[in-house]
Amino acid sequence: MKLAIDLGSSTTKIYCANAGNGIVLFEPSCVAVVDGEVKAVGKEAKKLIGKTTHQTQIIFPVYEGWIIDTRYAAEMLKKFFQKVGLSQMTLFRADVVFNIPCGISAMDFASYQMLAEEVGLRKVHFVEAPYLAATGAYARLEEGNPVFCIDAGGGVTNVAVLSPEGVIAGFSMNVGGNNIDAAIIDYMEAYKGLYIGSLTAERLKNELGSLSPNARISAVAEGCSVSTSLPSSTGVQSLELTPCITAYIDKILEYSKLVLNKLPAEVAANVNQSGVFLSGGLMKLPYVREYVASKLDMRAQVCEEPQFAIVRGGGALLRNKKTLQKIERKVDE
């Protein structure tokens, strides 16, 4: 059994790289906990956000790329494995690619290793996100052809220029879709007089959010009136949300320019020709390709099913052991 696992801050994806398989699991990375006991995981847990009594806590055990709660991260993963019928024996023998953020410290890397062991995985190759994203984007990563990619998820954005031997320049930053959701909550409170929850904010971003100056979609947001504290609703237009979105996309692009500034001239010339590969859930925003291309002044390409680029890349690497051995993060680093 060959598995690729992407334990994201927002969603967990598992890809099975055996014949005929593909994405076998795609669920929110959260658990609902009552008195220290996990009552629900994934979709079932997420739909409870903001709707439970004080006894129930909704916990996202991975925050901005860090495993902040190993115990719940492990319980969640084990439940996900059960859900897709992966037995302990299968997991014990499985060949696994596990995604880790770009450039994480030895200590944070150790917490990923501990987690993998805790959930019963024995043959694990840890690979930094940009390699997986580039592979999943079908970028031609080969000698003399460096690849520039940006993967933006819920809590983290990884930016890197890669060569087959290593990261030429890159880092991960704690900016992602969650920041936009929070900005939408603030906007709705300040300008529309409506308190909304994070599920509503995320839905507004995903349904209305766009980087196009001509976006014309509208929706109704439900919540609680700021003035009367009673249930209330109001209409929202795409363009109203644009500043909440550009604030963070611009931040990502500003940092991306810092990465580009560090490149040796020949690599810069190459990147200028091949452009940037975009992946991660946030890159599902309409018009993001055009926006990034104009801000970075280079070609941009959103890869197919951007949210699954990392696990798809993991699957491809499991079929190419030579490359995998070269790029996996070594334990004694």
Binding footprint of Mg ion on the chain (CB under 5 A): 8, 153
Nearer to ligand ATP by Cβ, of 94 and 175: the residue is 175
CB nearer Mg ion, residue 223 or residue 306 = 306
- Min dist. Cβ of residue 178 to ligand ATP (A): 6
Minimum CB–partner distance for residue 316 and Mg ion (Å): 17
Closer residue to ligand ATP in complex, CB, 205/295: 205
Nearest residue to Mg ion, scored by beta-carbon proximity = 153
Least separation in angstroms between residue 4's CB and ligand ATP is: 13
Buried b (16+ CB within 10 A) or exposed e, 256-280: beebbeebeeebbebbeebbbbbbb
Cβ at position 205, least distance to ligand ATP in Å: 5
Residue 11 binds what, of ligand ATP, Mg ion, none (CB under 5 to 8 Å, by partner type)?
ligand ATP
The site partner of 284 among ligand ATP, Mg ion, none (C-beta below 5 to 8 Å per kind) is ligand ATP
- What does 155 interact with, of ligand ATP, Mg ion, none (CB < 5 to 8 A by kind)? ligand ATP
Binding site for ligand ATP (CB under 6 A): 6, 8-11, 29, 65, 153-156, 176-178, 202, 205-206, 209, 280-282, 284-285, 307
Nearest CB to ligand ATP, comparing residues 25 and 285: 285
Which CB atom, from 120 or from 176, has the smaller least distance to Mg ion?
176
Query: Of Mg ion, ligand ATP, none, which one sits near residue 136, judging by CB under 5 to 8 A according to partner kind?
Result: none
Smallest gap, in angstroms, from Cβ of residue 108 to Mg ion?
A: 15
Closer to ligand ATP at the Cβ: 285 or 300?
Answer: 285
To the nearest whole angstrom, how small is the minimum distance from the Cβ of residue 162 to ligand ATP?
17
